[in-house]
């Protein structure tokens, strides 16, 4: 009942490398989050930006990878594929980055947004993924 790698790549529009970067950054984020709430570990600060740093670094690495793929596909003269790929990857990265940024600001109390407003980029991204999955044959 699990998705295969091919289905995930096709539906999410991400490569295996991008999925690995996201999983590694999520693992590091989870470890830092556990250290924050562990009473036995003495943390120097309660800074959410440092805890979210692996997620932002993963987004930066994925953006760098997408730019490299875009330039290489332009050099191979596949203009339509490269424009579709960079638009989907840019939308995916923008929505996930915006969600993480708004969540971090909300946790620090710097903005007074409801959590439904913070999660709005993820809702939009899930709708786009659903449309993309329905278009696949």
pLDDT one-digit tens code per residue, 2-26: 888 888 888 888 899 999 999 999 9
First vs last Cα of the chain: how many Å apart?
19
Please tell me the pTM assigned to this model. Answer: 0.87
Q: C-alpha distances in angstroms, 46 versus 13, 49, 112, 113?
A: 35, 9, 19, 21
What percent helix, strand, coil does the chain show, rounded to 5?
Answer: 80, 0, 20
Report pLDDT digits (tens) over 85-111. Answer: 899 999 999 999 999 999 999 999 898
């Amino acid at each position: 009942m699990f998705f295969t790698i091919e289905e995930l790549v096709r539906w999410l529009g991400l490569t295996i490398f991008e999925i690995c970067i996201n999983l590694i950054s999520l693992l590091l984020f989870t470890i830092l989050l556990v250290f924050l709430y562990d009473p036995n570990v003495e943390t120097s600060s309660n800074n959410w930006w440092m805890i979210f740093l692996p997620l932002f670094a993963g987004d930066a690495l994925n953006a760098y990878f997408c730019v490299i793929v875009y330039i290489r596909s332009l050099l191979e003269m596949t203009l339509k594929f490269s424009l579709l790929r960079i638009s989907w990857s840019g939308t995916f990265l923008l929505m996930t980055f915006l969600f993480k940024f708004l969540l971090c600001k909300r946790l620090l109390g710097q903005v007074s947004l409801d959590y439904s407003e913070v999660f709005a980029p993820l809702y939009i991204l899930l709708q786009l993924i659903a449309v993309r999955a329905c278009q696949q044959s």
